[in-house]
Amino acid sequence: MTELYDLHCHSTASDGALSPTELVQRAYHQGVTSLALTDHDTTSGLIEARLCADEKGIKFISGIELSTNWQNQCFHIVGLGIDPNYPPLAEATHNLQSMRLERAEKMALKLEKKRIPGAFEAVKKAAAEGMITRTHFADFLLSQNHVSTHQEAFDRYLAKGKAAYVSTPWADLKLAVSWITEAGGIAVLAHPLRYKLTANWMGRLLNEFKSAGGQGIEVITSRMNSDEIRLAADYATRFELAGSVGSDFHNATNPYVELGRLAPLPDNIKPVWELLG
């Protein structure tokens, strides 16, 4: 059987549309053989996902995608193979949940000033027990016809510098890497090309990330062209990082993003799964 890895995706525990069970079932139907669930700042979907993965015979990797700050910019760090019960990590996710709740209240106030009431109640209801994210705000704005696409919600209201944007003191990047490694996991820089850093700044970031204990970088994510793959692979080689592959699947509405639908990891890149126990 050919192995198919997808080490980055989201469930209703954060901003995904599918429950952990539905997500694993979809991954199974897509032929995924090893799956990591990596919800934003929470591990609350892992138990359910693992149960379903065991039933389907999929190898399951406990993951998380931590929101972190470095040099006043937000970077996402994926943790793979973590023990979700490691106390500092559990405490961090608890704090991040409060931070997200507070941020949501502030964002809703900003929207109210733009004569868009009701956002806080709506996103709280939509996120239910899960993490409240800007995706929930985008869904709300779309459902109320304040925008006509998700992208427009970000461009007009939610992106950095826009009307409802609230800067958030996420976890310090080096600290977040240490929580992951101390919880027995491998820290991976998520979607490295999405930060729009110059090569110089990317070098600084990767040096910092490595000195904190980071060991991997996503070389393959959805919708990358061959130039982008080459660039990400080049960072992996130069900074001696293992390569990860992950779709960042959130929902079935985007035909270009599907569980397991990913280009192969280039041959010269050490696969991150070789580091997973």
From the list ligand AMP, Mn ion, none, pick the one residue 154 interacts with, judged by a Cβ distance below 5 to 8 Å according to partner type.
Answer: ligand AMP
Site string for Mn ion, 46-65 (x = CB under 5 A): -------------------x
Q: Which residues face 69 on adjacent strands? A: 74, 172
Stretch that binds Mn ion, among 29-37, 72-80, 137-145, 231-239 (CB under 5 A): 72-80
Strands (E), 5-136: 5-6, 34-37, 59-70, 73-80
| Residue indicated by tokens 């591990």 | 43
Q: Which one of residues 26, 50, 76, 134 is an interface residue with Mn ion (CB under 5 A)? A: 76
Three-state secondary structure call for residue 53: helix
Q: Which one of residues 6, 15, 39, 139 is an interface residue with ligand AMP (CB under 6 A)? A: 15
40 binds ligand AMP per the rule CB under 6 A: yes
154 binds ligand AMP per the rule CB under 6 A: yes
Do residues 244 and 80 make contact, with C-beta atoms less than 8 angstroms apart?
yes
Site string for ligand AMP, 111-150 (x = CB under 6 A): ----------------------xxx--------------x
H helices of 114-194, where? 119-127, 134-143, 150-153, 173-182
71 binds ligand AMP per the rule CB under 6 A: no
Nearest to 186 by CA among 83, 268, 59, 47: 83
Interacting residues toward Mn ion by CB under 5 A? 15, 65, 76, 190, 248
